[in-house]
Amino acid sequence: MAKRGPTYHCQSCGAVYHRWQGKCDACGTWSSLVEDAQAAPVPGGGRPSSGGRARGRVFALETLKGETQDAPRIVSGIGELDRVTGGGFVPGSVLLIGGDPGIGKSTLLMQACAALAMGGRRVVYVSGEESTGQVRLRAERMGLAEAPVDLAAETNVEDIVATLNQGERPALVVIDSIQTMWSGEVESAPGTVTQVRGSAQALIRYAKTSGVCLILVGHVTKDGQIAGPRVVEHMVDAVLSFEGEGAHSFRILRGQKNRFGATDEIGVFEMTGKGLSEVTNPSALFLAGRDQPAPGAAVFAGMEGTRPVLVEIQALVAPTALGTPRRAVVGWENSRLAMVLAVLETHGGLRLGQHDVYLNVAGGLRVNEPAADVAVAAALVSSLSGATLPQEAVYFGEIALSGAIRPVAVAAARLREAAKLGFEAALMPSGGADHGDGNGLNLRRFGHVTELVADIAARAPRRDVK
């Protein structure tokens, strides 16, 4: 058998090469390739049996049928955090939380640690970026200095594991952040792909063997992805993303992966001088401070996991002086906007090729579901025609390439949330289930985008033709 040659990996992105080169083709970083150390032989792995074959341990196989128990939960007491995690932390699980610098990751975790510690559980907070004095100052500012949280400023993984094995087993351990950790068994600088992977493996191994819930804080790149090797996201049980805009005071905790709960739940927080406070009614927050009725504004009744959320969609369609009109989108998908514009031109009879289009989801929320197609189309037609949409109405529905407006899931919850906030009408697809009185709302149904365009055009002010 031919001998395997050396392999090299990039310390910035983790790309693997079979020969050394000065520049990484994947991320464009210079002088970042290092040679991988040859794997040590597994003890007993190369010892053949009497028959000439390697020995192996026989293990028992089981069937899918059997008694199962729900995973026990450690409730933090912060309702929005417990919602995203699926009802609380699971002992022995590992969570990875990422977000932009200064977004509030450490603040949220400090509040969770203090809540569990005040409930009589042992909690350990290990900071690799701040000193213990800096962490204490933040806790004092938030009014949590009296919480019995065990605090340490350490970056060596072996020392951390040895310390955690002493005394009472903690219920929760927070590592802030995984990019600052280093292991003596890995020959690489802290923050590199190799160190992050090795440190995460050691900490995850400790959590699985001891039954301790472990939370890892991760840095993010300029693209919003968690920095370091992608394999860390596969090793952990849950990946949470902390999002928010600097111009807004609210923050959104979104689950991207969760082995013990749903992955489409969100938790909404508001940043205050005392830390993060829960927002139990995010719809009222996103709709607060709405402008006076004006063309180009439509309220979308959306769903974030099991929670209905109402948010305002704003559109501006203006004539362009450029050869190629501009398309600017904030909070929605560019490709989805291009599809809606094409449908409006082909089936709605609108001429948008000589207009710039600007679309914004008010409040900084990012909408991902296709049910926003009707609200976006209504805002675009309203801005182009100058018609003002009824301020007491909500919109939802998916637009097909044929121009048909298709029903969406969980319409009853959307109507219920709209009625609770004082809306009087809902413009929705004509198909789908019969919702009766629609929670007291006036239900107006559309089957095709031409009907929607005609309804809005009828509201447009008449223009004198000279």
Looking at the predicted structure, is the pLDDT value of residue 319 above 70?
A: yes
CA distance 271 to 207: 31
Interval 214-246: pLDDT, tens: 999 998 877 677 776 778 999 999 999 998 876
CA distance 453 to 387: 11
Cα-based angle 249, 255, 259 (whole degrees, multiple of 5): 160
pLDDT band at 465 (very low <50, low <70, confident <90, very high): very low
* pTM for the whole structure: 0.79
Whole-number average pLDDT of the chain: 88
**Mean pLDDT lowest for which of 123-137, 151-165, 282-296, 437-451?**
282-296
Is 353:345 a contact under the CB 8 Å cutoff?
yes
SS (H, E, C) 329-390: EECCCHHHHHHHHHHHHHCCCCCCCCEEEEEEEHHHCCCCCHHHHHHHHHHHHHHHHCCCCC
CA distance 243 to 78: 18
pLDDT band at 280 (very low <50, low <70, confident <90, very high): confident
Is 18:7 a contact under the CB 8 Å cutoff?
yes
Residue with tokens 């059997």: 66
Where is pLDDT greater, at 94 or 66?
94
On the question of a cis peptide bond just before residue 382, with omega within 30 degrees of 0, the verdict is no
Where is pLDDT greater, at 39 or 414?
414
CA distance 271 to 104: 8
Interval 44-89: pLDDT, tens: 544 555 555 557 889 889 888 877 666 689 999 899 999 999 999 9
Amino acid at 414: R
Where is pLDDT greater, at 97 or 194?
97
Looking at the predicted structure, is the pLDDT value of residue 40 above 50?
A: no
pLDDT band at 38 (very low <50, low <70, confident <90, very high): low
pLDDT band at 462 (very low <50, low <70, confident <90, very high): low
- Region 139-154: mean pLDDT is 95
CA distance 22 to 199: 27
Q: What one-character-per-residue DSSP string does 307-330 give?
A: EEEEEEEEEEEEE--SSS--EEEE
Is 421:314 a contact under the CB 8 Å cutoff?
no
SS (H, E, C) 275-300: EEEECCCHHHHHHCCCCCCCCCEEEE
CA distance 404 to 429: 9
Is 201:242 a contact under the CB 8 Å cutoff?
no
**Mean pLDDT lowest for which of 31-35, 76-80, 440-444?**
31-35
Q: What is the DSSP-derived secondary structure letter of residue 184?
A: T
Is 411:387 a contact under the CB 8 Å cutoff?
no
